[in-house]
Amino acid sequence: MKLEKLRVSVAGLGLIGQVHLVNYLSHPNVEVVALADTDPERRAGKLNRLHGNLDEFTKEPIALGEFRSYEDPFKMCEDKDIDIISVCLPTDLHAAVTLKALENGKHVFCEKPPALTSREAIRLTVTAEAMGKTLMFGHVLHFWAEYVEAGKIIESKKYGRSLAASFARCSSRPAWSIGGAEQGWFGNPERSGGVAVDLHIHDADIAVWWWGRPQEIDASGAFIGNMPSVIHSRWRFRDGLIAQFEATWETVTTMPFYFNFKVTMERATLLFDSRNADGLQLATEDKLVSIPLKKAEAYRLEDYYFIDCILHGKPVDRCPPESSILSLDCVLEEARQIAERHRGITSV
Ligand SMILES: NC(=O)c1ccc[n+]([C@@H]2O[C@H](COP(=O)([O-])OP(=O)(O)OC[C@H]3O[C@@H](n4cnc5c(N)ncnc54)[C@H](O)[C@@H]3O)[C@@H](O)[C@H]2O)c1
């Protein structure tokens, strides 16, 4: 069967927009037809892959073909010759641009977090459903080999049920955006949502994927200036499982980016740390083994999966929008608790 070519556009050509763009350019059933960005250089296609903390990418220039260019992503949503819009804009623009794209009959891939409020995020899923369009939020860990494999082991209950878990995700403040760490959009909590909504949401989303909705959330944090920059959080699930999380945006630029998790099951423990070359490890009563996993670029798998769902009319059940919304709910509750406790501290 010969499959159609989907006409794809990318809104926002920063760190993550460039990652997705490269993947679309390599897909045999995709034609990149339009790009949107306020930055004239990027809009003209002068892209040099940014590095950020995604060190799996090289800095080679991106080879682009012909494309239409827009300064305003909302205008691009009205372009009739586009099938898909990939929303890679600052977070405060996600909901409005995604909504406009869906209302104009586009399929949408929107980077995480889906929105800055649950109400906006729900409206997106309702609109996608009503328009009969595919919507997926970019929770890349659903395609990250170690998280995928750990999820399978946990779900199988081969080693009993999960009793406890811990997750960490720490880096320096995002400084790659235009304007840098403080003046760029990441430095404005009303635009990025702070560390819980932007960074910790990756792990929150994994916990929700593996174990569902937590029954209790108890979060505290620290601010650097007016920015929520550290989160320590504990969740309790209905069956007694407890999970704890740490995520930080450090002030110092020398801080290496790392992430890890540990899951204690009844008869084994799963371990993963991005700094450890052993990869995903399983500790059982008699041995500690590294689980061999095929290395693949998670972002490419994510983009190809999204395209595949559209080409074959399949639901996005590997990274369902409902799960993304649930994890957004959780981090917004954490952010609320952190802000409330911070107000208590600053008013003493
Ligand atoms: N899934 C992941 O691993 C991952 C990694 C990084 C970022 N993200 C998410 O992706 C989104 C983008 O992050 P980023 O790091 O690529 O940011 P970035 O600052 O590197 O890129 C944003 C781009 O949008 C453009 N832009 C800003 N305002 C615009 C407007 N009004 N109209 C058109 N273009 C505009 C900027 O010029 C820039 O090129 C964020 O929501 C972030 O949370 C996800």
Q: pLDDT per residue over 153-192, tens digit each?
A: 999 999 999 999 999 999 999 998 999 999 999 999 999 9
CA of 91 to the centre of ligand 1 (A): 7
Whether the pLDDT of residue 200 is over 60: the answer is yes
> What sign does the CA torsion over 312, 315, 319, 324 have?
positive
CA of 142 to the centre of ligand 1 (A): 20
Is the pLDDT higher at 61 or at 216?
Answer: 216
Ligand 1 atom closest to Cα of residue 178:
19
| Mutational test site, ligand 1, from 9, 13, 15, max ligand atoms within 8 Å of CB | 15
Correct CATH for 6-138 of 3.30.450.40, 3.40.50.300, 3.40.50.720, 1.10.101.10: 3.40.50.720
CA of 340 to the centre of ligand 1 (A): 28
Helices (H) then strands (E): counts for the chain: 12, 14
Q: DSSP secondary-structure letter at 61?
A: B
> What sign does the CA torsion over 251, 255, 256, 261 have?
negative
**How far is CA 216 from its chain centroid?**
23
Which tokens in the block code for residue 331? Answer: 């981090």
Ligand 1 binding pocket (C-beta < 6 A) is 12-17, 36-39, 42, 50, 52, 73, 88-91, 93, 111-112, 138, 140, 176-178, 198
CA of 266 to the centre of ligand 1 (A): 41
C-beta of residue 251 within 8 angstroms of C-beta of residue 173: yes
Ligand 1 atom closest to Cα of residue 16:
16
Whether the pLDDT of residue 302 is over 50: the answer is yes
pLDDT tens digits for range 261-286:
999 999 999 999 999 999 999 999 99
3 state DSSP class of 84: strand
C-beta of residue 81 within 8 angstroms of C-beta of residue 70: no
Q: Name residue 221's beta-bridge partners.
A: 231
C-beta of residue 247 within 8 angstroms of C-beta of residue 200: yes
Q: Report the C-alpha gap between 278 and 272 in whole angstroms.
A: 8
Where does the chain hold its CATH 3.30.360.10 domain(s)?
Answer: 142-296+328-346
pLDDT tens digits for range 93-142:
999 999 999 999 999 999 999 999 999 999 999 999 999 999 999 999 99
Ligand 1 atom closest to Cα of residue 13:
39
C-beta of residue 109 within 8 angstroms of C-beta of residue 138: yes
3 state DSSP class of 228: strand
Ligand 1 atom closest to Cα of residue 39:
37
| Mutational test site, ligand 1, from 23, 38, 257, max ligand atoms within 8 Å of CB | 38
Residue among 117, 62, 74, 66 at smallest CA distance from 98: 74
Q: Report the C-alpha gap between 314 and 151 in whole angstroms.
A: 22
C-beta of residue 11 within 8 angstroms of C-beta of residue 73: yes
Q: Report the C-alpha gap between 76 and 36 in whole angstroms.
A: 7
Where does the chain hold its CATH 3.40.50.720 domain(s)?
Answer: 6-138
Q: What CATH code is assigned to 142-296+328-346?
A: 3.30.360.10
CA of 100 to the centre of ligand 1 (A): 18
pLDDT tens digits for range 27-62:
999 999 999 999 988 888 777 655 554 544 555 667
CA of 327 to the centre of ligand 1 (A): 20
Show Cβ contacts of residue 345 under 8 Å, excluding neighbours closer than 6 positions. none
Amino acid at 300: R
Give the closest residue (by CA) to ligand 1 atom 20. Answer: 14
φ, ψ of residue 251 in degrees (nearest 5): -70, -35
pLDDT the model gives residue 51 = 54
